[in-house]
Structure 1
Amino acid sequence: MITWRRLTEDDFPLLISWLEQPHVARWWNHETSIEAVRRDFGPALRGEEPSEELIAHLDGTPFGLLQRCRLADYPEYLAEVAALTEVPSGAMTIDYLIGDPQLVGRGLGPRMIRSAVRAIWDERPDAPGVLVPVSAANRASWRALEKAGLLRVAEGEMEPDNPVDDRAHYLYRIDRP
């Protein structure tokens, strides 16, 4: 069973170890010093930024990170998504990673995404849907979204997370049942 809890500063060493894994670093392209992690994740933990940072647990063991937010809380990001498709008021987005390389490719990504979407439906009754942009080159990520029940609704250019990637993105969506 997948459960969720808020990320805390005590989780930063674990998060750093995940961000340093080659399969994560390739797509997240994140600095891994404790200072950088505090700088980038600390504001959400302190309520200074509207995103939520959650640790995913499988049978009590942490295995992944989920970021979720309302698209409207990040106007520049919303504008990029809205350039590709209609964005309903209150729509949310997620970003995710599986930290342990031994857990990659075992169907945990789709399970994690389905669990995250169910949590949004339960905890955010005003969220009409979830839209997730993903680099077209990140096949594992967009396949996990498809297996979790999200549909590809658009393709287009967005700013990549990693500067080595081109701007080609797919946009996935799931609406509240």
Structure 2
Amino acid sequence: MTDHRYSFRRVTADDADLLMRWQSNPHVRAWWEPRGPYSAEELADRRVLRQIVTCEGRPFAFMQDYTVHGWEDHHFASLPEGSRGIDQYIGAPDMLGIGHGPRFIRARMQALFEAGAPVIATDPHPDNARAIRVYSTLGFTQLGPPRQTPWGLILPMVAKA
């Protein structure tokens, strides 16, 4: 069942200040490298869909999904064609720990599966127990041991349609 409180819209250049503010929060910095605004080229990259997540109209989180076959030697390249990877964070501190993460992730997973993704992959840091717990409750299972990638140390996890 879709949770209609959550909506997703494409990140635009106008979101730069919001994303920078969210990335300055300690709970985001613990797991995400700070970065400057996305360039026009990055925002136009068809391999990645970057979105602002809103709850009842209030922006509170960032989420991206991407084709796992869009980069040479990606750590999820062995997954079936059409598989998607996901990453996200809740930027607004007052929205943490009250159940929004699992609900908006589930909503996006449902949309990806309905669009034909056979597998959804994610790669939290192995020490990020909160994220791993959330992913596990959403049906993700570990796909091998932690490993080093160009994007850092990850715990590969997958959920199947």
TM class by shorter-chain length?
0.7 to 0.9
Structure 1 counterpart of 2:41, which letter?
Answer: P
Contact 1:81 1:133 in 2 (8 A): no
Normalising by structure 2, report the TM-score.
0.88
CA distance in 1, matches of 2:137, 2:94: 20
What is the TM-score normalised by the length of structure 1? Answer: 0.80
Deviation sequence 1:113-142 (CA, Å, 0-9, x none): 1011012123x32x2110111111111111
User: Which one of 12, 16, 19 corresponds to residue 12 of structure 1?
Assistant: 16
Superposition RMSD in Å: 1.8
Size of the alignment, in residue pairs? 157
Q: Which runs of 5+ in 2 are unaligned?
A: none
Quick check: which one's helix share is greater?
Answer: 1
**For the Cα contact (< 8 Å) 1:28–1:161, is it kept in 2?**
no
Query: Percent identity over the alignment?
Result: 26
Mapped partners of 1:48, 1:3: distance in 2: 21
Letter in 2 for 1:72: H
Aligned to 1:38: 38
- Give 5+ residue unaligned stretches, structure 1: none
Confirm or deny: 8 A CA contact 1:68 1:92 kept in the other structure: yes
- What residue number does 1:173 align with? 158
Q: Tell me which residue corresponds to 2:145.
A: 155
Partner of 1:131: 121
Shift of 1:147: 2.0
Alignment partner of 1:61 is 2:58: yes
- The counterpart of 2:93, out of the listed 101, 115, 132, is 101
The answer to whether the aligner puts 1:81 opposite 2:76 as a matched pair is: yes
Do the aligned partners of 2:69 and 2:76 also contact (CA within 8 Å) in 1?
Answer: no
Please identify, of 51-60 and 140-149, the stretch whose mean Cα deviation from structure 2 is larger.
Answer: 140-149
Alignment partner of 1:27 is 2:31: yes
